[in-house]
A and B are shown apart, each in its own frame.
Chain A
Amino acid sequence: MNIELVKQLVEGYGPSGFEDHMRDIIRPFIEDYADEISVDTMGNLIARKEGDGSGLKVMVAAHMDEIGVMVTHITEKGFLRFTNIGGVFPVTLAGNRVQFADGTMGVVYSEKRESRTEVHGLDKHYIDVGATGRDDCPVSVGDAAGFYRSFRAQDDFLVAKSMDDRIGCVVAIEALQRLESTPHDVYFVFSVQEEVGTRGAEAAANGLEPDVGIAIDVTTTGDTPEAATMAVELRAGPAIKVRDAGMIAHTGLVRLMRRRAEEAGIPYQLEVLEGGSTDARSIQIAGPGAAAGVISIPTRYVHTVSETVDSGDVENSIKLLVEVLSKPIEL
Chain B
Amino acid sequence: MDLFKLLQTLTETPGPSGLEDAIRETLREVWEPMADVVVVDNMGNLLAVKRANQQSRQPDDEEITGSDEKPPRLLLAAHMDEIALMVKAIAQYPDNGDVEAAGGFLRLTNVGGIDVRHLYGQPVVVHGRRDLPGIIGALPNYMLPDKSSSKAYGFDELVVDVGLAAKEVREIVSVGDFISFQQPLRKLLNDRASGKALDNRASVAAVTVALDYLQGRRHDWDVVAVATTQEETRLLGAFTSAFAQRPDVAVALDVSFAKGPGTKENHLFELDEGPIVGLGANVHPGVLQKLKDAAEALEMKVHVEPHSYHSGTDAYGLQIAREGIPTGLVSIPLRYMHTMVETVAIDDIERAGRLLGEFAARLDGSFLDEIAEEMMGD
Contact = CB atoms under 8 A, between A and B. Distances in A.
Interface of A: 211, 222, 229-231, 242-243, 246-249, 251, 254, 269-272, 274, 281, 284-285, 287-291, 331
Q: Which 8 A-B pairs have the closest CB atoms?
A: A242-B176, A289-B240, A248-B18, A288-B244, A231-B89, A289-B43, A270-B175, A270-B176
Contacts of A284: 236
A257 to B, nearest CB: 12
Looking at chain B's contact residues, the main secondary structure is: mixed
Interface string B152-180: 00001000000000000000001110000
Contacts of B88: 229-231, 272, 274
B229 to A, nearest CB: 9
B19 A251 contact: yes
B62 interface: no
A103 B89 CA distance: 44
Nearest to B87: A272
A285 B240 contact: yes
9 contacts: A222-B89, A229-B88, A229-B107, A231-B88, A247-B234, A251-B18, A251-B21, A272-B175, A272-B176
B243 A288 contact: yes
Interface string B174-198: 1110000000000000000000000
Contacts of B17: 248
Interface of B: 17-19, 21, 41-43, 86-90, 107, 109, 111, 156, 174-176, 230, 233-234, 236, 239-240, 243-244
A248 B234 CA distance: 9
A287 B243 contact: yes
Contact of B90 (A231, A289, A291): A231
Contacts of A251: 18-19, 21
A287 B174 CA distance: 32
Contacts of A222: 89
Contacts of A254: 176
Residue from A230, A272, A287, A290 having most chain B Cβ neighbours under 10 A: A272
B42 A246 contact: no
Nearest to B176: A242
Contact of B234 (A246, A272, A331): A246
A205 B107 CA distance: 35
A246 B230 CA distance: 12
Contacts of B90: 231
B234 A285 contact: yes
Nearest to A209: B243
A217 to B, nearest CB: 17
Given A242-B86, A243-B109, A288-B243, 20 more contacts: A231-B88, A231-B89, A231-B175, A243-B176, A248-B17, A248-B230, A251-B21, A270-B174, A270-B175, A272-B109, A272-B175, A284-B236, A285-B240, A287-B243, A288-B42, A288-B43, A288-B240, A288-B244, A289-B43, A289-B239
Nearest to A249: B18
A243 B236 contact: no
Residue from B90, B175, B176, B233 having most chain A Cβ neighbours under 10 A: B176
A269 B89 contact: no
Nearest to A231: B89
A209 to B, nearest CB: 10
Nearest to A247: B234
B337 to A, nearest CB: 21
A272 B107 CA distance: 11
A242 B175 contact: yes
B42 A272 contact: no
Contacts of A271: 175-176
Contact of B111 (A230, A243, A249, A331): A243
B234 to A, nearest CB: 7
